Amino acid sequence: MKKWFLPIVLLLVAAVLGACGANEKVGDSDITAKELYEKTLKQQESLKSYSAKGIIKQNMMFKDGEEEMSIDVSSDMKMDVIADPLSSYFTSTTKMQNEGMEDVEDIKMEGYLTDSGFYMKESTMDQWMKMSKDQYDLVLGSYKEQSDPSEQLKKLSEFVEDFKIDTEGDKYVLTLKAEGEKFTKFIKSEMEAQLSQLTQSEQPTIDKMAFDDVQYVIYINKDNYNIDRMKTIMNMTMKVDGNEMKMKANTDLNISNFNSVKPITVPKEVTEKAQEM
């Protein structure tokens, strides 16, 4: 599941629009950057629920000494989210291709997150599992942290000069092309913060990380100021425990059904059959 997508996108929007000149017009429109920021922020604050559909394509190249292995991964996901009380339902299908080997069977996942817990089922196991309370608390804690605009704005403020704002049809378009040591340092610190939530034995050692190409494209609807699409491209190289990995990832997420998601409840057959992880 793409972890709590909309809060992260909103923070990127707030960072770039909040730093633009207050009276600068956006593209060929009559709206200023300050007005766009205020209207977008107000709309997101009123957001009670949404649905998302996304396609994620990845290529990973692993190198261990003289040996190399390439893996292609493609995932289709669908997700419904309600803000209060926090609840979510998601499904995903992942296809994997390993160079030189037969295609691996598709992996399908389904999950519920509500105040009663986090339940997941994977097609390779065909068994509903319930996340332990400690893991569940980490998921909720991560969401709360990413939903704090003040802290995230401080982190993203150094990249605002890299954004461009324009218009395209019925959308305002924000584009970021980021690279170099400054961005690498930022992403590395964020990854290390996420990894710190794992136990010591689960944490990989990140020796070196570099980003060859990172692009974000965020679309804001001109009529209602909803963020209804985001595309990302990320090409990176990293060393984990002494081994090199190169990864290319393309993501295309579409958000819709704003404030129209029906209440999400975990079916009785799921809660009764689930085993604790």
How many structural domains comprise the chain? 1
- Percent of the chain with pLDDT strictly greater than 70: 67
Q: Which residues pair with 37 in a beta bridge?
A: none
Cα–Cα dist 188/190, whole Å: 5
248-265, pLDDT tens digit by residue? 999 999 999 999 999 999
Examine the pLDDT at 8 and tell me if it is beyond 90.
no
Q: What is the mean pLDDT of the chain?
A: 77
Mean pLDDT of 215-223: 87
pLDDT at 142: 64
Q: Which of 24-28, 181-185, 238-242, 245-249 has the highest mean pLDDT?
A: 245-249
Examine the pLDDT at 25 and tell me if it is beyond 80.
no
This prediction has a pTM of: 0.78
Find the domain containing 41 and state its range: 5-276
Examine the pLDDT at 133 and tell me if it is beyond 60.
yes
pLDDT at 245: 85
Residue of 131 and 187 predicted with greater confidence: 131
pLDDT at 179: 63
Mean pLDDT of 94-113: 82
